[in-house]
């Protein structure tokens, strides 16, 4: 995994501030966990080309950065229907 040398101040995908950015390229392989995450509300993916090679920059947004005051509780579970355990 790499780090962009001069990343923008705001995410180029959603124009929101972000917590961190990482760059992934050929041969890195990666897994995106779609479960509820206490630290990050979302990750935006920005495909870029570096020295003629394809890369993907990951912009990590915290819950506060996307306007959510509270991260989900550890007990919140989102089944296929999208209803959290705390909503019942």
Alpha carbon distances (Å) from 35 to 4, 7, 48, 82, 88: 26, 27, 26, 11, 19
Least CB distance to Zn ion at residue 24 (A)? 16
> Which CB atom, from 44 or from 84, has the smaller least distance to Zn ion?
44
Q: Give the nearer residue to Zn ion in terms of CB position, either 14 or 84.
A: 14
Considering the complex, what minimum distance in angstroms separates the CB of residue 34 from Zn ion?
Answer: 16
Q: How far is the CB of 10 from Zn ion (least distance, A)?
A: 8
Query: Torsion over CA of 36, 45, 66 and 16, rounded to 10 degrees?
Result: 170
């Amino acid at each position: 995994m790499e780090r962009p040398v001069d990343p923008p101040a705001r995410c180029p995908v959603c124009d929101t501030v972000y917590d961190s950015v990482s760059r992934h390229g050929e041969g890195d392989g990666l897994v995106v966990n779609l479960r509820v995450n206490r630290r990050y509300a979302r990750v935006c993916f920005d495909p870029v080309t570096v020295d003629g090679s394809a890369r993907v920059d990951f912009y990590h947004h915290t819950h506060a950065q996307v306007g959510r005051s509270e991260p989900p509780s550890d007990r919140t579970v989102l089944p296929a229907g999208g209803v959290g355990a705390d909503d019942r």
